[in-house]
Amino acid sequence: MGARTSGEGLTGARDAGIGRADALDREELERLYLKYNDRRFIPSDPVEFVHRYDNSRDRELVALIASSLAFGNVKQIKASVARALEILGAGPADRVAASSPSELEFDFRGFRHRWITGKDMASLFAGVREAIKEYGSLGELFYAKLDRNDSDVAPAAGRFASALFAMSGGYRQCLLPSPETGSACKRLNLFLRWMVRSDAVDPGGWSEVPPAMLIVPLDTHMHRIATKLGLTRRHAADLRAAREVTGAFREISPEDPVKYDFALTRLGILRNETEEDRAGIYC
């Protein structure tokens, strides 16, 4: 891995079969992956909502909603995502495509998730509506912004976020932040992990984006793990840190560097940590 360090063990390492940070290697990571790449663990993550839909346009919209609202405690996140999907009904993508911005704003009146209001959500959906009208789907919009010559997905993610914002009525930008600001954009990279990778946990569907270009969704919990493993020395969980951590995992899995993200984050999420640690996803 080229970035191991001796010292304090990982949170939850004993349960995962990892005794110390300096023992972590390809075999350990593969064992973790095989253990947690299982649909039984999906209820511990907002991705569970995405798996409820078969239609690809519904899946990508639900993934955008679930990832964008994934900050706060787990109970609150799930309640807010469930409420948003209840409002949109059985075919969320068709509902958004067929609704005017004013109709969406009316439907989401009273909705609130922390500081995100119903107006923010309606504005985001207005951008999605325009993207579907112009490109056919969110996936096609992202493909239009993707340059395979880029070293990773950050530039395309920035262009994607900027395009949605421009097509919307102007939602609070922390709802869908852009890597252009230097933010690690945990939730946007989480959305991309769900859409690009395909295994028991990640639904996939965006086949034109190489998994090799993905960036580890870096939140405070994953940053703490990465720091203990010596994958980054940066004190801030920013885009530079996320790229450093991704680079370290790329040494082990060049074609799929975020493969181990779900498994590693389960170590703390499934243990007795605080509500903030279990959520681990912030604006």
Mean pLDDT computed over 147-155: 96
Mean pLDDT, the chain, as a whole number? 86
pLDDT at position 7 is 32
CA pseudo-torsion sign 162, 143, 97, 60: negative
pLDDT, tens digit (0-9, with 9 covering 90-100), for 122-132: 999 999 999 99
Judged by DSSP in three states, 113 sits in strand
End-to-end CA distance of the chain: 30
pLDDT at position 18 is 35
CB 100 within 8 A of CB 88: no
Residue predicted with more confidence, 136 or 228: 136
Mean pLDDT computed over 220-249: 92
Q: Which residues contact 113 (CB under 8 A, 6 or more apart)?
A: 69, 72, 76, 77, 80
User: Exposed, middle or buried: residue 35 (CB in 10 Å: 0-12, 13-18, 19+)?
Assistant: middle
d(CA 141, CA 135): 6
Q: Is the pLDDT of residue 21 over 90?
A: no
Q: Which residues contact 215 (CB under 8 A, 6 or more apart)?
A: 152, 153, 154, 184, 189, 192, 239, 242, 243, 246, 258
d(CA 249, CA 82): 33
Q: Is the pLDDT of residue 92 over 60?
A: yes
pLDDT, tens digit (0-9, with 9 covering 90-100), for 245-274: 999 999 999 999 999 999 998 875 545 344
Q: Is the pLDDT of residue 102 over 70?
A: yes
**Backbone phi, then psi, for 215, in 5-degree steps?**
-115, 140
Mean pLDDT computed over 18-37: 73
Judged by DSSP in three states, 183 sits in strand
Highest averaged pLDDT of the listed ranges 48-52, 171-175, 274-278: 48-52
pLDDT at position 15 is 39
Q: What percent of the chain has pLDDT over 90?
A: 72
Residue 113, strand partner residues: 116
CB 3 within 8 A of CB 230: yes
d(CA 179, CA 271): 31
Q: Is the pLDDT of residue 281 over 60?
A: no
pTM: 0.87
d(CA 172, CA 283): 11
